[in-house]
Structure 1
Amino acid sequence: MDDILDRARTAVSERAELPGMSLIEHLEELRRRLIHAVIYLVVGFFVAYGFHEKIYRLMQAPITFALKKHNLPPQLVIHNPVDGFNMYLKISFMAGCIFAAPFILYQAWLFISPGLYKNEKKYVMPFMLATVTLFMGGAYFGYRWVFPGSLDFLFAYSHDFRPLIEVSEYTDLFLTVILGLGIAFELPIFVLFLSLFGIVSPKFLWKNIKFAVLVVFIIAAIITPTPDPLTMCVFALPLLALYVLSIGVSFLVHPATRRKRKELQESKG
């Protein structure tokens, strides 16, 4: 813990050497970016609400397929008249967040960019593309394999019971799995920010890779729809690959590495 705090203090001191803004200017800039992010979020919500029925059909497809496969009625149920409306609002809000995410991420980049070296600011588009791609990749992984496989396993396991699935509970489960995996796939981006400010280093990540492997397999054991080890390994491999990718990202953006690159560029110049 002390080692991590020392790295954070070192990163702050290194950032202080860069041309930047005062505390008041930082707070004003943060307020401006937050206002823009909220505006994008509101616009995203209304755009998503215009397609709320199509979004729901897309969301309902896994449960419908699983129910029909097990010869069960495919309709979901509601317990009061407002459940359906609330569900449409919820999925519109979440879809709106996804639609607005690239614009919100751009605001986040604009906020942190004054603390970066000039040659690093060109990475805004790769950063945004990587963030969106990783999230959509995780969400698709969950939608295509994790969630349908889990439903199939659970219905097969509960064949002695007649399911009565409430639409709001199903929506919460769907969003938890899909958004959870989408966020989990953002690990390299999370490590990028931690490494950017010197909180973690490639050496630290590599040294603790055995603990990362343990955590990944625990997560895979939880989300794997079937109990066999082969399937669990299939689910764990993408997360392990992302962790290894995160080590490479940390090496590229860590202050020590960047400082060496800057010194090399100055010596050549």
Structure 2
Amino acid sequence: MPLIEHLRELRNRLAKGVLAILAVTIVALVYSQDLMQFITKSVPKCGPGMTSDGGNCAIVSFNTLMAPFSVTIQLSLTAGLVVSSPVWLYQLWAFVAPGLHRNEKKYTYAFVGAAVPLFAMGAYLAYMILPVSVKVLISLTPEGSANILSLGDVLDFTLRMVLVFGLAFELPLVLVMLNLTGVLSGKTMVKWWRAVIMGVFVFGAVITPTTDPVGMLALSGPIVVLYFLAVGFSLLNDRRRRRNNPDADLDDDEASHLDLTPEPLGHEVEPVAASRMLPEQAGAKGGPKQLNGYDDIT
């Protein structure tokens, strides 16, 4: 296709994706109140006339005049992006797929097929432990103080937790892709297991604001299990690659193994003819002196 046709196709694909996002966003605007209740469900709300004395509950409110409008648009647009993701992701794939080889398409299907459920598992886990995190954060409120939360802050915190948990669950998939492309071997991943486990638990302790180990284990435990599953897959893939191509694991500047097995007796060996000597090496008149058939330069 000429460049103009590619640009026209890209425009049509983008238009279809944007229309899908706008359609879902309009529907989300209609149900914005239900979405706000769903997002703030993890926050222990104070009853009418109550204050969050001692951090037992919190008051969710809007702090500015434009806050209800901006939060509603933000929440509806986020819902539109998430719900319509199959449509605009398909449009993106339909634009890129004709330029890929058959094996590249196969790897892409496998990557997407594994990435979607892993991200969904991480997002669901984040939503499950979100009430515990919110209660721990609210409990830090000093005695005699009222905890008034902005709905925008609650929305940002919820989205941040969901995205962090969802992306963290993609780590084993990234390792598998690096192994399939030959960048990272399973033996190297086995050597790193102590540092990886330490880093995963530190990451889980930092990203989950709970003081108890429940939130940290809820995030770190599944990632460690997925990491060892990725290690097992990589080891099997390395063994398969080594069986199909013994020199696949060699570096570019590393020599392959030489076959030094001697030829069996009776095998005909082609004689190598002796090279002609230079006149100086043959003792010609006027040539350099030789010692045992070799001159000074030799």
Bucket of the pairwise TM-score, normalised by the shorter protein: 0.5 to 0.7
- Rounded Cα–Cα distance in structure 1 between residues aligned with 2:233 and 2:9: 26
Task: Tell me the secondary structure at the aligned position of residue 165 of structure 1.
Answer: strand
Task: Give the deviation of 1:93 after TM superposition.
Answer: 1.8
Task: Give the deviation of 1:198 after TM superposition.
Answer: 3.9
Please, which runs of 5 or more residues in structure 1 have no aligned partner?
1-20, 262-269
Task: Tell me the secondary structure at the aligned position of residue 61 of structure 2.
Answer: coil
Of all paired residues, the percent bearing the same amino acid is 26
Query: What is the aligned partner in structure 2 of residue 87 from structure 1?
Result: 71
TM value normalised by structure 2: 0.62
Confirm or deny: 8 A CA contact 1:153 1:225 kept in the other structure.
yes
Please, which runs of 5 or more residues in structure 2 have no aligned partner?
246-298
Q: Give the alignment partner of residue 141 of structure 2, picking from 158, 181, 194.
A: 158
**Using a 3 Å threshold, how does the CA distance of structure 1 residues 209 and 166 change in structure 2: closer, same or farther?**
same
> Residues 116-149 of structure 1: CA distance to partner in whole angstroms, max 9, x if unpaired?
435963973x64443332222111111111x211
Query: What is the aligned partner in structure 2 of residue 264 from structure 1?
Result: none
Comparing 175-184 with 238-247, greater Cα deviation is found at 238-247
Once the two structures are superposed, the pairs formed by residues 99-114 of structure 1 within 5 Å of their partners are 99-107=83-91, 109-110=93-94, 111=96, 114=99
1:115 aligns with 2:100: yes
Comparing 130-139 with 36-45, greater Cα deviation is found at 36-45
- Rounded Cα–Cα distance in structure 2 between residues aligned with 1:90 and 1:97: 11
Query: What is the aligned partner in structure 1 of residue 36 from structure 2?
Result: 56
Bigger relative contact order, structure 1 or 2, given CA contacts below 8 A and separation 6+?
1
- Structure in which a larger fraction of residues adopt helix: 1
- Rounded Cα–Cα distance in structure 2 between residues aligned with 1:225 and 1:130: 29
- Rounded Cα–Cα distance in structure 2 between residues aligned with 1:33 and 1:252: 43
> Residues 23-55 of structure 1: CA distance to partner in whole angstroms, max 9, x if unpaired?
x79x86994697254444444433433432222
- Greater Rg by CA: 2
- Aligned residues, how many? 236
- Rounded Cα–Cα distance in structure 2 between residues aligned with 1:103 and 1:251: 36
Confirm or deny: 8 A CA contact 2:58 2:147 kept in the other structure.
no
Task: Give the deviation of 1:192 after TM superposition.
Answer: 4.8
Tell me the C-alpha RMSD between the 2 structures. 4.1
- Rounded Cα–Cα distance in structure 2 between residues aligned with 1:32 and 1:199: 36
- Rounded Cα–Cα distance in structure 2 between residues aligned with 1:168 and 1:32: 34
- Rounded Cα–Cα distance in structure 2 between residues aligned with 1:114 and 1:257: 26
- Rounded Cα–Cα distance in structure 2 between residues aligned with 1:195 and 1:50: 46
- Rounded Cα–Cα distance in structure 2 between residues aligned with 1:109 and 1:193: 19
